[in-house]
Structure 1
């Protein structure tokens, strides 16, 4: 148990596939820089999920690497973003949802292992979608009072990108994986990636740039692009496919990852429309769908090699 805080920090870092406690520490600093409540909820969700995985007898190496904590982190952050973070009821739901995400991950792993596909953030997406759909039925689960812009693309905005929207969006694309649009939080997340591995940081930067280019080329609203609402899933795709996580690093996997990042950018507003009954929160569904499809295709593409 003395190493439990290290396992929790690794769980925070595993949102971006990094099994590094130093990276997790910088990621946690980024959460607190945006709002102290986000920092508390992120640590709460990761700690509960990590403890639940240990209590359920999950494989020790996976628990220690943080692989059972990252979905709990995101579930709790989703509660803080979409519900009132000051309500005790929200904290209870965040903790419960984090624990449930461990069970969902175990069940999904049993299903997806047949095709050698990872669970990714599917437990977070399922749990957060369920919570946002159920919240109106519980008067103690009030909607959030704009702690941070939710990951939902504005329906009406003027196309075109200003310089501020461009560089803010570049960093916000990295931060919105944690539901944070602040550029300085994105900068701290990028610093965490650099601390964990420079190649991963380069993959995230390349993915963010491709997402910006794709959004601009298609005429996406500048305000939404500047908040990272089009690019966060693409950054995660770039890390998964081009960061040495699931595919061997070479020029082919790099190009494949950037193609996936562009695809996820296009999918994001589609998922926003599909999730309109739950508040229009696309969450990381575009990342999940893109990555699973691209990984499923790898056996049929001779130039790519799974790790």
Structure 2
């Protein structure tokens, strides 16, 4: 019993680190510590979601190798965090953990579907489930939508282009992978990445800088740039395109930069489209950019 509990906790903590493509207990603990420093409740929902997702996979008979690596946990972690942050009411803890558990089943289903197309699921399962639960909140009184996700009319929408530029957005863009907008947690996340892989850490920094500069150059809203909301998808995209996916040449970093720039444009476009439905962009720009590059490589192997 004790051994099984240790294995469950190990896989759960790795599930936290797998959000940034890392299978490392120390990195997972550092990320969890960064989240807990920002907010104790968020730290609890993070580990609770990781355990719930991993436990559901275990009960359902998941492949032990995949289970131990934490690959059934990272979408649950993000799903639990998203629901807790975007919904309101006394039941959001229950709904967040429910979402974490259901996300594991959706992850398994999509794994089976996408393997026929030689494509990774990435964070797509949590995105779909989060949108589903948020959409449900507008119809069912048990689930209450937060004030920050209410549908908005684009006719009256005005961009906030003026205001002081804050370089902190360069760092908080890394923290926004876990929905956090403060520098200290972002440093914890960056250290966690460097501990597992110096290359991943360097690419995370490059991705954040590229996302920040691209948004600034293209005239993005200053408030969003300062919060790092144009960076985090670029961070994940840069790491995935240059290191995680099958790379056949040493110049993949050039493709990574292109994909990171593309993720910023997709972020702006999706944000505009989803705003009227009260849905957050989440990591969909990262998923779309990465899928695009991976499939392009099947035709153009030199990118």
Match in the other structure for 2:300: 301
Contact 1:159 1:219 in 2 (8 A): no
The CA distance in 2 between the partners of 1:267 and 1:140, in whole Å, is 33
Select the residue among 122, 126, 142 that pairs with 2:144. 142
Alpha-carbon displacement from aligned partner over 1:229-265 (angstroms, at most 9, x marks no partner): 11111111011112x2113385421111111011001
Q: Which sections of structure 2, spanning at least 5 residues, go unmatched?
A: none
CA gap of 1:20–1:155, structure 2 versus 1, over 3 A, is farther
Residue 5 of structure 1 is matched in structure 2 by: 9
Instruction: Tell me whether 1:91 sits opposite 2:93 in the alignment.
Output: yes
Matched, 1:255 2:254: yes
Aligned length: 294
Q: Do the aligned partners of 1:215 and 1:230 also contact (CA within 8 Å) in 2?
A: yes
* Residues 1:190 and 1:294: Cα distance change in structure 2 (over 3 Å): same
Shift of residue 159, structure 1, vs aligned partner:
4.5
Match of 1:275 in 2: 274
From the superposition, tell whether residues 207 and 38 of structure 1 become closer, same or farther in structure 2 (CA, over 3 Å): same
User: Which residue, out of 2, 17, 22, partners 2:21?
Assistant: 17
Give the aligned partner of residue 102 of structure 1.
104
Q: Is the 8 A contact 1:273 1:280 kept in 2?
A: no
SS at 2:298's partner residue?
Answer: helix
1:280 deviation in Å?
Answer: 3.9
Gapped regions of structure 1 (runs ≥ 5)? none
> For 1:3, what is the secondary structure of its paired residue?
helix
Counterpart Cα distance in 1 of 2:75 and 2:217: 33
SS at match of 2:251: helix
RMSD: 2.1
Partner of residue 245, structure 2: 246
Contact in 1 for aligned 2:248/2:302 (Cα 8 Å): no
Correspondence for 2:71 = 67
- The 2-side partners of 1:111 and 1:269 are apart by 29
> Which residue does the alignment assign to 1:184?
184
Conserved 8 A contact 1:8-1:66: yes
How far is the alpha carbon of 1:161 from its aligned partner? 5.9
Q: Of 40, 47, 57, which residue of structure 2 is paired with 1:43?
A: 47
Matched, 1:285 2:287: no
Indicate the SS of the match to 1:300: coil
CA distance in 2, matches of 1:203, 1:155: 34
| Matches of 2:37 and 2:281, distance apart in 1 | 24
Q: Distance in 2 between matches of 1:268 and 1:132?
A: 19
**TM score, norm. by length of structure 1:** 0.90
Contact 1:115/1:296, CA 8 A, preserved across alignment: no
The whole-number CA distance in structure 2 between the counterparts of 1:36 and 1:137 is 30
Q: Deviations over 1:54-74 (max 9, x none)?
A: 111111111101000000000
